[in-house]
Amino acid sequence: MFRVDVQDERLRGKLTKAKIAVYNAVLAELATSALEIQSEAREIVPVDDGFLKDSILTNEIEDGFKIGSNAVYANYIEFGKPTGTGPNGGPKPYLRPAFENNKNKIVRRVQAIIRKLL
């Protein structure tokens, strides 16, 4: 790691504005992407009564977003039961595939934003 000390006040101001612009633009893109992942997870989740599907939400956290469910059995569907396959027939992932299906597209869009702003 190295450090650069910028003495020119104008240049320092421009760098600070650029940093803020990139951060805000990337965060906005991540918000859009999180909603896309949420939507896809809702499409592929195994549904009995729709409660799990409706419980898949996106929440903003520091510097990003969290997509998940507050249904008490959500982890059993995603990862299976620790005591065996049980009545659900084993894990039926929906969050991980939704993320994996969108990951490369998100990376490309974030990279494009950074290139454009810098």
* Domain assignment of residue 2, yes or no: no
Domain that holds residue 99: 10-117
For residue 112, the model assigns a pLDDT of 96
Amino acid at the residue 58: T
* Domain assignment of residue 4, yes or no: no
Number of domains, the chain: 1
* Domain assignment of residue 5, yes or no: no
> What pTM was computed for the model?
0.84
Query: How does pLDDT run across 34-57, given as a tens digit for each residue?
Result: 999 999 999 999 887 889 999 999
* Domain assignment of residue 15, yes or no: yes
Share of the chain above pLDDT 70, in %: 93
Q: Are 114 and 26 in contact (CB under 8 A)?
A: yes
Using the predicted structure, report yes or no on whether residue 21 has a pLDDT greater than 70.
Answer: yes
For residue 87, the model assigns a pLDDT of 59
* Domain assignment of residue 1, yes or no: no
* Domain assignment of residue 99, yes or no: yes
For residue 85, the model assigns a pLDDT of 56
What contacts 24+ positions apart, CB below 8 Å, involve 40-46?
A: 40/97, 40/98, 40/101, 40/102, 41/67, 41/94, 41/95, 41/98, 44/94, 44/97, 44/98, 45/77, 45/92, 45/94, 46/77, 46/88, 46/92, 46/94
* Domain assignment of residue 50, yes or no: yes
* Domain assignment of residue 85, yes or no: yes
Query: How does pLDDT run across 56-94, given as a tens digit for each residue?
Result: 999 999 989 999 999 998 998 898 877 665 555 678 899
